[in-house]
Amino acid sequence: MLHRELTTHKSKSFFLFGPRQTGKTTLIKSLLRPADLYINLLPQRVSLGYANEPGRFHAEVLAHVRLHPKALVIVDEVQKVPALLDDVHDLIEDHGIRFALTGSSARKLRRSGSNLLAGRAYTYKLYPLTERELGAAFNLERALTVGCLPALWNPSADEDPVEFLRTYVDTYLREEIAMEGLVKDLAPFARFLDLAAANDGEIINFSAFARDCGVSVKTVQAYFQILEDTFLAFKISPWLRSARKRLVAHPKFFLFDPGVTNALAHTLHSPLPAAVRGRRFEQFLTLQIKARLDYDHTDLALSFWRTNTGQEVDLLLSRGDLVLAAVEIKSTPRLDPGDLNGLRAFRADYPQARSLVVGPFDRRRQLADNIEAVPWREFLTTDLSAIGR
């Protein structure tokens, strides 16, 4: 089994969230000891059993812990029966029981009135495999095409990547979201998913999306919120703190995996066209950085910078109001004269921030205007929490 970079607290209860097939169950089972209790709510008969018998979960956990006082109680796919969190709350508070709770959606928990235990449990997110986790097995072109879901990198599994990803898209992203009641009408949501994939990493104009999907702006915003709540996408907000330039205020959204994006965008073939490959490389590197920030438990925020005249920097790393680094992502080793205009414009307002262009370069080198060119793999080994020092 591949070693995952995410580490969980050894004595505190916690939630482990992430999309389906990212390896939550495998990771959580690796924590199991013989005396621990594992409850999987994914089978409908199990989740319905607990939902229809109030008090059963509470009684079973207490009975187990009386026999095994230091047992960890693992509840897989807890969003299937959100009411169980009331029992979990009580069992933590009154009996000191430690829980590990996994889920692929925080939406049902929030909509049910659950408060995610109000600080009594830490919250972690699991991403697809990172380049560091894959180690020597990593192949960039494969990652950009089929993504990094663990099932597609398991040498002992006989998975066809194309069929796997198409099935994932059809049975989960479309049908299961509808079955969970997250959307009432699947047709406009399916169109929305196709558009979201085609515009992955682009600045989102909600009005244009609404016109193309045939729904209201509020509905499109709700759709994006569903993707965030189910961990299928994350938002990067624009940096708006500038007294001298008018800045774009719309966000960007990135889907959680390049392979899933390709399946939705009908670009699941190799080699990728140059324009698509460039966008998937930016998505891939952004996801790697996001995973690093979460796994390392840093307090850094990600944003982007774009003026209304089109000058742009792909990523900003900031702590509070202080920008530590501005990062431009390039998918080819060649740098054209205009490629660094966004960084130069940004430096005019923020000369103290490090300015980096990250891409498939053969070595680190200093460019003009205090801009550094950094090989992307070297950048991912950087201590991001100390990047501005």
What was the pLDDT predicted at 276? 96
Mind giving me the DSSP string for 253-307?
EEES-HHHHHHHHT--SSSPPHHHHHHHHHHHHHHHHHHHHHHTT---EEEEEEB
Residues 119 and 135 in one domain: no
Q: Domain with 193 in it: what CATH number?
A: 1.10.10
53-85: b or e for each residue (b if 16 or more CB lie within 10 Å)?
eeeebbeebeebbeeeeebbbbbbbbbbbbebb
For 231, the token pair is: 């961990």
* Whole-angstrom distance, CA of residue 297 vs CA of residue 349: 29
The answer to whether residues 139 and 269 belong to one domain is yes
- 317 & 282 share domain: no
- Is 339 part of any domain? yes
Q: What are phi and psi of 359, to 5 degrees?
A: -170, -170
- Report if residue 5 sits inside a domain: no
In a domain? residue 332? yes
Tens-level pLDDT at each residue, the chain (389 residues): 678 999 998 889 999 999 999 999 999 999 899 999 999 998 999 999 999 998 999 999 999 999 999 999 999 999 889 899 989 989 999 999 999 999 988 877 776 555 566 667 899 999 999 999 999 999 999 999 999 999 999 888 788 999 999 999 988 766 667 666 667 777 888 889 999 999 999 999 999 999 998 899 999 999 999 899 889 999 999 998 865 667 778 899 999 999 999 999 999 988 999 999 999 999 999 999 999 999 999 999 999 999 888 899 999 999 998 999 999 999 999 999 789 999 999 998 899 999 999 999 999 999 999 999 999 999 999 888 777 66
* 370 plus 304 within the same structural domain: yes
pLDDT at site 241: 80
In order of 75, 312, 382, the CA distances from 39 in angstroms are: 5, 48, 39
Look at residue 301 and tell me if it is in a domain: yes
What is the C-alpha to C-alpha distance for residues 166 and 186, in angstroms, rounded to an integer? 17
Domain count, the chain: 3
What's the CATH code of the domain at 41? 3.40.50.300
> Residue 4: inside a domain, yes or no?
no
| Phi, psi for 358 (deg, rounded to 5) | -115, 130
Does 148 share its domain with 241?
yes
Structural domain contains residue 23: yes
Position 336 in a domain? yes
Residue 104 lies in a domain: yes
Q: Is 302 found in the same domain as 280?
A: no
Q: How far apart are CA 381 and CA 291, in angstroms?
A: 13
Q: Which amino acid is at 360?
A: P
pTM for the predicted model, two decimal places: 0.93
Same domain, 53 and 179: no
Other Cβ atoms less than 10 A from the Cβ of 22: the count is 25
Give the residue from 251, 286, 321 where a domain finishes: 286
279 and 381 assigned to the same domain: no
pLDDT of residue 243: 56
CA distances 307 to 245, 327, 342, 346, Å, are 7, 16, 9, 10
CATH number (domain holding residue 376): 3.40.1350
Same domain, yes or no: 220 and 327: no
Q: How many angstroms separate the CA atoms of 365 and 250, rounded? A: 33
Please say which residue of 72, 97, 125 terminates a domain: 125
Q: Identify the pLDDT of residue 181.
A: 63
Residues 365, 325: one domain?
yes
Domain that holds residue 108: 14-125
Judge if 337 and 239 occupy the same domain: no
Q: Do 163 and 258 fall into the same domain? A: yes
Structure tokens at 100: 């590990």
Phi and psi based region of residue 198 (left: phi greater than 0; alpha: psi -120 to 50; beta: remaining):
alpha
Of 125, 144, 173, at which residue does a domain stop?
Answer: 125
CB 355, CB 289: distance < 8 Å? no
For β-strands 354-359 and 371-375, DSSP reports them as parallel
The tokens describing 229, both together, are: 């709540």
